[in-house]
Amino acid sequence: MRRRVIGAVSGIATTMFLAGCATNAPQDTWKPKGPNAKIIDNLQKPVFAVAGIIGVIVTAVVITAVIKFRDKGQPIPHQSHGNPALEITLTIIPALILTVVGVFTFRTVFDLAKTSDTEMIINVTGQQWWWEYDYPVQNEYGITQPIITSGQLVIPAGTKVLLRETSRDVIHSYWIPALNGKRDAVPGRVHLNRIEADKPGIYAGQCTEFCGLSHANMRMEAIALSKADFAKWVANQLKPYTSPAENTLAKEGEAVFMNQCTRCHQVNGMKRADGTPVIAAPDENIVSGAAPNLSHLMSRNTFAGATFDLLNKTCRKEVWGADSESFGAKYLSGVSEDCLNQTDLRGWLRNAPGMKPMYSNPALLASTGGKYRGMPNLGLTESDIEKLVAYLLTLK
Amino acid sequence: MFSTGSKYFFGISFLGAISFAIYMFLIGESAIGATALLGLVVATGLLTALTLTTRDGAKDEDGVAASTAAPTGSIWPLIAAVGATLLLVGTITSPVVTLFGIVALLAALIEWTVLSWSERASSDVSYNASLRKRLLNPIEFPVLAAVGLGVVIFSFSRITLAVNKSVGATAFIVLGSLVLASGVLFSIRPNLKRGLVTAICVIGAVGIVAAGIAGAGAGVREELVLAQEEGHYVHQECGAEKSEYFDKLPLGGVSASASVAAHIDLVDGKLIATVQGIAGEQQSITVPRSNPTNIVFRNKSDGEYRLVANLGSKMVTDGVKEDVVQCTQLIPQGSDQMLTLNIPKPAVAGKPFTLTVPGLAGQSIEVIVP
Amino acid sequence: MAIIERSITSTEALVSATPSSSLGALKRPVATTGWKSWLFTVDHKKLGIMYSATALFFFIVGGIEAVLIRLQLAAPNGKVLNADLYNQMFTMHATTMVFLFVMPMAAGLANYFIPLQIGARDVAFPRINAFSFWALLFGGIFLNLSWFLGGAADGGWFMYAPNSGPIFSPSHGIDFWILGLQLAGIASLAGAVNLITTVLNMRAPGMKLMRMPIFTWMQLVVQFLLLFAVPVITVALFLLSFQRNFGATFFDVSAGADPLLWQHLFWIFGHPEVYILILPSFGIISEVLPVFSRKPLFGYPFVVFSGAAIGFVGWGVWAHHMFASGLGPVSVAVFSISTMAIAVPTGVKIVNWTMTIWGGKLQFTVAMKFAVGLIVLFTIGGLSGVTHSVAPSDTQQTDTYYIVAHFHYVLFGGAVFGLFSGFYYWWPKVFGKLLNEKLGTWNFWMMVIGMNMTFGPMHILGLQGQPRRMYQWTEARAGEGFFNLAFWNRFASIGSLVLTTGVLLFLINVVITARNGKVAPLDPWDARSLEWMTSNPPKEHNFDSIPTVSHLDEFFHRKYEEDANGQMVKVKTAEQIMKELEDNADAHIHMPSPSYWPIVLAAGLPVIAFGVIYSIPIAIFGGVIVLFGAYGWAIEPSTAPDDDFDPPATTKDVVHVG
């Protein structure tokens, strides 16, 4: 009975495990898509195999003992206190196995820490509950002035990118499983994490250090583009701001935006009627001191810490499902009015904390000196929302 | 043992204390209520003491004859008198003196009460003495030990404040070794004469207290006085004059070993930035907005220099703008200083944020805030 | 303090030396029945039962929290709990299970069985023992009061700074958490000192350290770990407390601090803590396996020394919790290697258990089933542990469900299975009745199946990229196909209900046994160690006469001898051995008297804690209670006077032992 149960259970478990691995999860740690993740994968697969074999052996020995030596009326065994030779052998064998694993681990740790061959640098800053990316000036990629974006990290494929991670408030962790292991972003410190994608595509990730209320909603994606496509992306990001044409809904939206949103959100190049630049002051309103820069918002696919899609279901499927050749063009086309995920964007503008839990209850702001953590409910009217959506769609 | 009356008053006193605590917690506003309750506690406390001492006025209790032995000499009347005097003197001199008076009076009250209570506990004098010890030693020993240690520690602090820094350290080491040596002596010679052990301890304690009094008389060392006059405790790094007292080993801190975003080196009159994770020398550093970022300035040139971060200007009041600058201390060759930048906004076009060194023209590192 | 015994001056029959009345505040309480006998007891057995009952209660609380977590995660975008409540739930689930279930349960068993196993009549400091228990109970209640006073702690049991700071967690939850743990820490420290002294000083004549039962050995290692680990977390909690309540800046970056300081402090405590949780269970099954295999523990010295080695090396591996924290490659590599090193002594234990049952005469009682279950389940947990001792691989796995799976195999499959093995094994000793074996078998299988259904799929979830501590998961990241992450999440949630049923069966078993359980024979399992050489349940003074020990497994060797053919044959029954002890009974055994003061002193502590959070005068009031308790403790007579005893003592000689 016992034997059959154990057999059945282990059989089912093995089958399930193997079948379970056949799915196509976007954050699968066993499907590396870049050299760094592959280095890790090459190390961990043999370790898993060895651990698995040892596990099977131990279980088999225990089950054998359970069956073979169950009380069948045999005499009480000799009261032997052990067998030191056997004991020492069985100590040395695992020690040896671990030594071999240790040597390879040692090498891999230092391989992964190498940064001397970096080809591109991006500063990554975490805050509750989104990621900011800042591309310092790197003329070889056409980045002639700093680019600031958020949520989706755009990198050229086949390029060794070094992420310099830090945080503005609590500890976060940057993790794109297909490209590399995770690395914490710690306030006050700069941590290095290198990533490289073999092919163009979209690689999902998630903040993995518990960072407060909306930790579950702090996501990110890495977008790898071919070098040519990346140059196009850079050029688009550096495109100067154009105010919407007069007497359009979008122009009215710009006014609403200037009135309501620029306290925290920067749109580069935006000017007031008198010609002075509009500079956001998130440090006065938000604990972390930053809010996503919304210049070229519609060149991204997601918003609110990559929690929500800017693309509706159909268009999203096209981008996520694209093969590596056609991916670049699809991503670069950005978000058009037809593709816009109206429900979530409008819902967000209507009541942001209702969609993503954030500490924006005014009653709880005493300890922060009145500063919010995350976007509060702005109490916008439906017509304001209509105008804002029209305006945001112009931020290509 | 305890008379009915004393239990009654103690009960009231205890309940009063609890109501006082609850009252303070729940209401806590009214001083009158608090005073009234505290008054109740104190009054019934005194009554408890009184009834305890007199055993509710009963001559004997349960057939136990009170000791007829003459009372032994006691120091507590004297201390009570001194306490009362101090209390009065304090009202015209300093509240501290009053405090001492109150403490002495309280101590005398408790000791006296228990003493007189115990002397009439039974007819057996030695039993009565042991009863007194049983009740009071658990209070006396910790209090005396705390006071004694406090006096020694305070005296020692006066010594170290008065003498030179290195002398102070030496004294500490010597004294520590002496204590350790005596400890070792006592442990390897457990049969040492009690008098000798006491003598060693007393001489040590008296020595320290005497030196402490001398130290207090001499006042704190000049260096500290100077530092205080100079306003050591307010940071004036950007002032024209040179500070003498500041943290000269800023990189010794826990965080500085790991949390440095960039190093700014002054090498042969040139300002060079090295940024973590970026190969080669840089002429600019990137600091994310609203993010405390540590940078380290290392002076590797002959002469004394400081690093100044020019971070634009901010509106102080309407229409009045003030330059935002942050400076390190003026440091000689081979020293370093840490600066924590926290910049809320990007620079205005055409007026970039920079790191410069006063006295060196043409050398600057741009601080980019995206 | 300590144990007080009359000198043995007469050979008269055993005299019960229980005080019968009490007089006034300076006397000690004397009740032997009723609630007073529990409230003021200093008897290690009563305290052991109270510890375990408390732990069991918090096990249920933590279990309810766990089930709520699984219900929330059963479907995408779960709506059972909101984000805030979910964060509190997983924080408190871990805290409760670690600090209020496994630790007190192990402490309870240690309290009950260490004196019995080493042939002592009580622990070294009976009143401190009582104080430890009350401090723990009040700490646990205090911690959980936060649920009703504005929400529990929401920073995770690891409480990483700066997320635990006043800005990021403005409610009082974390304050309650800090102070509750401080109280539990006081309890652990006092308990550790007590048990170490007991084990080192109060063993029966002839019981050398290497003849000590293995459970006592493992507990000794645990107490040393506690003695050194608890002060570290105490310091860390003080820093956090000052940061939250008094404006200190220990973890404030803009004041020049480094938030990683907290992580180091926490894990220097946190890693030894893992061994504090698991070693008692290792000890339990090292007792259970030999008994039901009819063989001594294979390689006793190896098990002892590997336990001690785990205790030592456990201090050098803390940073493996921080492989992704950015420590730099040198630290990471070194801690990776040291973590692998600790797998070796752990492996030794598994080898020894396996070799113990190999060649034995195995009886599958429920206790034995749980013990064998532990070997297999803990091996799985241990091996998944080895996979993430490989630091690069850990950067993919840490903070995912893979880790959740790992430590639940270690702590549920290991620690909890060991404790359940102990319940079934020792129940007749403590309560004199046998737990129902049939129901127990159901209990075991439901728990095995439930635990594998719950935690097994988490390996897959983690490796396929589902992070921990997320109040919701979305289908967007769940992958495709039938066996996608949604399936496994649902599967695990169903498993958690099976597991709950298993635990409920245990509780039902307890109730049924209490009502009409089988009365246990004197030696129901044909056991091997000293705790079985007395009645069920043991008398208040444990042993009528202290046995002289000449073997490891003393009890077994008194019962069995080798005959001419080298066969083990029974030469004496347990009843005969008991009779021998009774015949040589010590006259007038004087046990420590109960005391009012431990509970008074302990009651002051949560009052101070409330005061720290709400208002300083309350803290002062609590301090007064503590001082009052300490004063009462100091002046109370070391034992009830002779007149309190019935019948009155025949001699005035009182000998202080230990």
pLDDT in tens, A147-173: 999 999 999 999 999 999 999 999 999
Residues of A in contact with B294 (CB under 8 A): 188
Beta bridge partners, B326, equal: B309
Chain A contact probe: residue of B289, B293, B345, B366 with most A CBs at under 10 A: B289
Q: Is C536 on the interface with A (CB under 8 A)?
A: no
Q: Taking CB atoms and an 8 Å limit, are C359 and A188 in contact across chains?
A: no
Chain B contact probe: residue of A122, A131, A148, A190 with most B CBs at under 10 A: A190
Nearest Cα of chain C lies from the Cα of B183 at a distance, in angstroms, of: 24
Nearest CA in chain A to C457: A17
With beta carbons less than 8 A apart as the criterion, state whether C492 and C453 touch.
yes
Stretch A66-82: mean pLDDT, rounded? 88
Residues of B in contact with A132 (CB under 8 A): 288
Question: What residue spans in chain C does CATH classification 1.20.210.10 cover?
Answer: 44-257, 294-520
**C44-257: CATH number:** 1.20.210.10
Q: Which fold has domain A2-71+78-112?
A: Helix Hairpins (1.10.287)
Residues of C in contact with A211 (CB under 8 A): 163
CA distance C486 to B223: 70
**Secondary structure element (H or E) that encloses residue A221, with its range:** strand A219-225
Residues of B in contact with C634 (CB under 8 A): 137-138
Q: Quote ipTM for the complex.
A: 0.93
Q: Taking CB atoms and an 8 Å limit, are C260 and B258 in contact across chains?
A: yes
Amino acid at A85: A
Residues of B in contact with A190 (CB under 8 A): 261, 276-277
Q: Are strands A161-167 and A120-127 parallel, antiparallel or unpaired?
A: parallel
pLDDT score for A273: 87
For A239, other C-beta atoms within 10 Å of its C-beta total 13
Cβ-proximal residues to A225 (8 Å cutoff; 6+ apart), any chain: A154, A155, A156, A157, A200, A233, A327, A328, A331, A332
Q: What chains are in contact with C, requiring at least 3 Cβ pairs below 8 Å?
A: A, B
Q: Is C39 on the interface with A (CB under 8 A)?
A: no
Q: Taking CB atoms and an 8 Å limit, are C617 and B28 in contact across chains?
A: yes
Q: Taking CB atoms and an 8 Å limit, are B294 and A188 in contact across chains?
A: yes
Domains of chain A, by residue range, sit at 2-71+78-112, 119-396
453-512 in chain C: CB under 8 A from chain A: 456-457, 459-460, 462-473, 476-481, 483-485, 488
Chain C contact probe: residue of B6, B20, B25 with most C CBs at under 10 A: B25
Phi and psi dihedrals of B338, rounded to 5? Answer: -110, 145
What is the mean pLDDT for each group of 10 consecutive residues in chain B (370 residues)?
A: 79 87 74 84 85 67 55 85 92 89 91 83 77 85 92 90 88 90 89 88 90 88 77 61 73 72 89 87 88 89 88 80 84 87 85 88 87
- Chain B to chain C Cβ contacts (< 8 Å): 49
Nearest Cα of chain C lies from the Cα of B1 at a distance, in angstroms, of: 8
What is C294-520's CATH number, 3.40.50.12780, 1.20.210.10, 1.20.58.100, 1.10.3720.10?
1.20.210.10
Cβ-proximal residues to B310 (8 Å cutoff; 6+ apart), any chain: B323, B324, B325, B353, B354, B355, B356
Q: Read off the DSSP letter of residue A173.
A: E
Q: Is C308 on the interface with A (CB under 8 A)?
A: no
CA distance A310 to A324: 21
CA distance C574 to C555: 8
Residue owning tokens 């600090």 = C99
What are A122's two structure tokens?
A: 């991006």
pLDDT score for A319: 92
Q: What chains are in contact with A, requiring at least 3 Cβ pairs below 8 Å?
A: B, C
Q: Which of B259, B277, B292 sits opposite A192 (nearest CB)?
A: B277
Q: Which of B276, B279, B344 sits opposite A190 (nearest CB)?
A: B276
Chain C contact probe: residue of A209, A341, A344 with most C CBs at under 10 A: A209
Nearest Cα of chain C lies from the Cα of A55 at a distance, in angstroms, of: 6
Domains of chain B, by residue range, sit at 4-59+71-151, 250-368
Chain B contact probe: residue of A118, A166, A191, A368 with most B CBs at under 10 A: A166
Nearest Cα of chain A lies from the Cα of B275 at a distance, in angstroms, of: 10
CA distances from C473 to A184, A305, A313, B349, C79 (A): 21, 15, 18, 44, 11
pLDDT score for C256: 78
Q: Taking CB atoms and an 8 Å limit, are B286 and A282 in contact across chains?
A: no
**Secondary structure element (H or E) that encloses residue C540, with its range:** none
pLDDT, tens digit, 9 for 90 and up, residues A255-269: 999 999 999 999 999
What is the mean pLDDT for each group of 10 consecutive residues in chain C (658 residues)?
A: 38 41 57 85 95 97 96 94 94 96 96 96 94 97 94 93 90 94 96 96 94 96 96 96 90 86 95 95 96 93 92 92 92 93 92 93 95 96 93 94 96 96 96 95 97 95 93 89 90 96 96 92 93 91 91 92 85 91 82 89 95 89 92 78 50 38
Residues of A in contact with B288 (CB under 8 A): 123, 125, 132, 134, 166, 168, 290
Q: Does residue C478 come out as left (phi exceeding 0), alpha (psi in the -120 to 50 range) or beta?
A: alpha
pLDDT, tens digit, 9 for 90 and up, residues A179-210: 999 999 999 899 999 999 999 999 999 999 99
pLDDT score for C3: 39
pLDDT score for B232: 56
pLDDT score for A14: 59
CA distance C70 to C496: 7
**Chain C residues with at least one Cβ partner in B under 8 Å:** 23-26, 253-254, 256-258, 260-261, 328, 614-615, 617-618, 621, 624, 630-631, 634-635
Q: Which fold has domain B250-368?
A: Immunoglobulin-like (2.60.40)
CA distance A145 to B370: 9
Q: Is C247 on the interface with A (CB under 8 A)?
A: no
Regarding predicted confidence, which is higher, A254 or B331? A254
In terms of Cα–Cα distance, which of A180, A203, A202 is closest to A192? A180
Nearest Cα of chain B lies from the Cα of C258 at a distance, in angstroms, of: 5
Query: In chain A, what percentage of residues exceed pLDDT 70?
Result: 93
CA distance C501 to C14: 47
- Chain A to chain C Cβ contacts (< 8 Å): 336
Q: Which of A113, A213, A366 sits opposite C329 (nearest CB)?
A: A113
Q: Is C383 on the interface with A (CB under 8 A)?
A: yes
Q: Taking CB atoms and an 8 Å limit, are B2 and C630 in contact across chains?
A: no
What is A119-396's CATH number, 2.40.50.100, 1.10.10.10, 2.40.30.10, 2.60.40.420?
2.60.40.420
